[in-house]
Amino acid sequence: MSAPVRRVLYIVDHLGLGGAQSSLVDTLPRLREHGYEPVVLALHKLGDAADSLRDAGVPVQSLGTSAVTLPFSLGRAVGQARALKASLVDAHLCVSSALGAHVARRLGLPLVVHVHNQVSSEDVLRRWFLRQGFRAASAAVCVSRAVADSVRMFMPGASMRVVTIYNPFDWSALDRPGGVDARVEWGIGADEGVVVFAGRLAYQKGLDVLLSAWANLLRNRRARLLILGDGPLRARLEARARSLGLAASVIFAGYRTNVPAIVRTCDVFVLSSRFEGLPVAVAEAMAVGVPVVASAVGGVPEIVTPEVTGLLVPPEDPDALSAALSRILDDEDLRRRLSEAARARVQQLFSRDGSVRDLADLYSHILSGASGPVDAFGD
């Protein structure tokens, strides 16, 4: 007789753009193969990730609340969770960690907290939300070893397991030809280098630093900077680009669904972040054979080895960033060597099936009441 299917309630702040949301889309449909039925409860904002989950047959509900109104929605959240008859709660992002703790305590369920950024990078209120989650959690699942270390420093002596499980990768999707060429789509000349960024246009990503670096770089060359993504700082960044005289060389392309296909046709991928957990966009660029220049923050050095699989620079240092971009654009042999090693590195580290299996094993470990070693789950 097969084991009964166990329902897992995933609580997430929102289902708009973001790495946490992408990881849910990649992970949840495949958990059924391991005997787990996922159901998602978002605090607010059902966006593209909600559509992708529903298309894959994962039920999605919205609580219609926010961090400000959350205290008035606790009872409704517990009611929705009770009706779903879950066996375990898995919370993603800060506010949901606190809500997950409340729901898990009220219903007597084990709690897993997924951590997508270093705790030290969060503001005081978000750290408070995380602390509530950690106090109730059986385990914290971290997207990189750097994030795991930050959790241990934040909660020394905590009884919860702290494990690292890298985000899953669908290699077949990355390897499919995309039918798009950045140079053709945006009218970029053959004599111009193409540098691409993909991500949310928010403070974390340091795009103001990138624009300053870009202004330095253009003193000595012709090149185009392609910015894929959207976010709260888009209008401010577009104004900043105009004020620096960069309007003709910086393309704000907005949100795109075929990011890896576009990145594949560019010369260099750049990440100028102030802090990170483990950025999926960097790993995707490496996977499609595009060399990376990135800030040495969070889990980035776990996948980008300087001078081997990419170039690393200090965060918030436009001069260093400009110099690294100039160097890699000038050296075709360097780009080829880095990209070949980078693809091999991410193939070694990332496995969609392995990540999903590790998560399912952790759930089973918790639900069985076992107390085995943490390194059984990859840390």
Task: Return the domain boundaries, the chain.
Answer: 6-168+351-377, 172-349
- Check pLDDT > 80 for residue 51: yes
pLDDT band at residue 374 under the 50/70/90 scheme:
very low
Q: What is the CATH number of domain 172-349?
A: 3.40.50.2000
CA–CA gap between residue 260 and residue 280 (Å, rounded): 11
- Check pLDDT > 80 for residue 179: no
- Check pLDDT > 70 for residue 175: no
> What would the mean pLDDT of 319-323 be, rounded to a whole number?
98
Residues 6+ apart with CB under 8 A from 360: 31, 34, 35, 36
Residues 6+ apart with CB under 8 A from 83: none
User: CATH topology of 6-168+351-377 equal to that of 172-349?
Assistant: yes
pLDDT band at residue 375 under the 50/70/90 scheme:
very low
CA–CA gap between residue 274 and residue 363 (Å, rounded): 33
Structure confidence at residue 311 (pLDDT): 98
> What would the mean pLDDT of 19-45 be, rounded to a whole number?
91
> What would the mean pLDDT of 282-296 be, rounded to a whole number?
94
Tell me if the domain spanning 6-168+351-377 has CATH number 3.40.50.2000: yes
> What would the mean pLDDT of 101-105 be, rounded to a whole number?
95
What are the structure tokens assigned to 27, written together? 């992970």
What are the structure tokens assigned to 77, written together? 């959240």
What integer best gives the mean pLDDT of the chain?
90
Structure confidence at residue 154 (pLDDT): 94
CA–CA gap between residue 306 and residue 241 (Å, rounded): 29
Residue with tokens 């369920």: 109
Structure confidence at residue 379 (pLDDT): 52
**How does pLDDT run across 338-358, given as a tens digit for each residue?**
999 998 898 888 877 889 999
Asked if residues 87 and 7 have their Cβ atoms less than 8 Å apart, the reply is yes
- Check pLDDT > 60 for residue 259: yes
- Check pLDDT > 50 for residue 121: yes
Q: Residue 184: how many CB atoms within 10 A of its CB?
A: 9
pTM for the whole structure: 0.86
Strand boundaries in 160-310, DSSP class E: 161-164, 193-198, 223-228, 250-254, 268-271, 292-295
> What would the mean pLDDT of 36-57 be, rounded to a whole number?
91
> What would the mean pLDDT of 304-333 be, rounded to a whole number?
97
More confident residue, 323 or 3: 323
Structure confidence at residue 173 (pLDDT): 67
Lowest mean pLDDT among 107-116, 153-162, 265-274: 153-162
> What would the mean pLDDT of 298-318 be, rounded to a whole number?
96
The secondary structure element, H or E, covering residue 77 is: helix 74-84
Buried-state track 123-159, b at ≥16 Cβ within 10 A, e below 16: eeebeebbbbbbbbbbbbbbbbbbbbbbbeebbeeee
More confident residue, 80 or 306: 306
> What would the mean pLDDT of 160-179 be, rounded to a whole number?
80
pLDDT band at residue 220 under the 50/70/90 scheme:
confident
More confident residue, 18 or 358: 358
